[in-house]
Structure 1
């Protein structure tokens, strides 16, 4: 049994970290959702930049889109992204910010947990604050896993540090090792 989806969250320093990961990550035959705290006007260029170096299709998520394997969905700036039980993406820019951000890693993780229970691999990257802590805690209680970026390779250690301090990181890895960790969990899920 392998995870059904990967959800990656990042903030300050995230675009560079994502570029590093997706330029080295092999094609993975499950969907990936990225929650990057980013202003609305920069989402398209980030998706294009990641798509140019990835072995998978990277795109900005669209309302009511059904997620597909080997596709990476980037939440649009200023929109919460949730997943419905029929694997359709729902985008919301009317709800208030959660923990001061929209999109929120926590909002997405909680919705993904409802759909996939513990068959979720979460990856928390560089960024300020503690967005993702609640969602990762829920996913791990259901049997999911979490990879946290290490302090030395973060621009800002806030988000990974919060998850590590909550004892919710199954592994802590340098940015350069995260692609290997993702592949490891896909091959050794239990």
Structure 2
């Protein structure tokens, strides 16, 4: 229903705006420490693979790769872009506080980060990046959305707007990459380890 869609969007926005930052030590003690590491490995592998593809397929773009990091959060992939030797990154996220922290992290790393950056608070399921950017034609070689895609499928309009943001400024020959959860596998695991739920179904 439209009511549930509104509460879903509001819930994600509120949750990530109120999400607290944690030190490296605190993250290392997290119950999901190994899952985070696995997720980071997946993202690193995917990003490195497609940056290599762009350089192999379009050598003229090797030193001027522009990236759109959709749903950037607090900038968890900033070092991946540094290692990938990209030219610039546009960071966007629906949570204003996350975007502020993302920019702060970039400023702190700027002395060794080898790319330029722009930062936009943007709900990619409701707003258009074209209204924020000073660009009139495709400028991204890579659009990356890591573990945020599932938020855009609460209704058709949200999914359409999200995919329009991903595609509208993507160059011909560029790539849209992303990771998301497998809902079928999650439900299977949940049911398998919860006998009470099994009995209810």
TM-score (norm 2): 0.41
Task: Identify the structure with bigger relative contact order (alpha carbons < 8 Å, sequence gap 6+).
Answer: 1
Higher strand fraction: Structure 1 or Structure 2? 1
TM-score (norm 1): 0.43
Kindly name which structure, 1 or 2, has the bigger radius of gyration based on alpha carbons.
Answer: 2
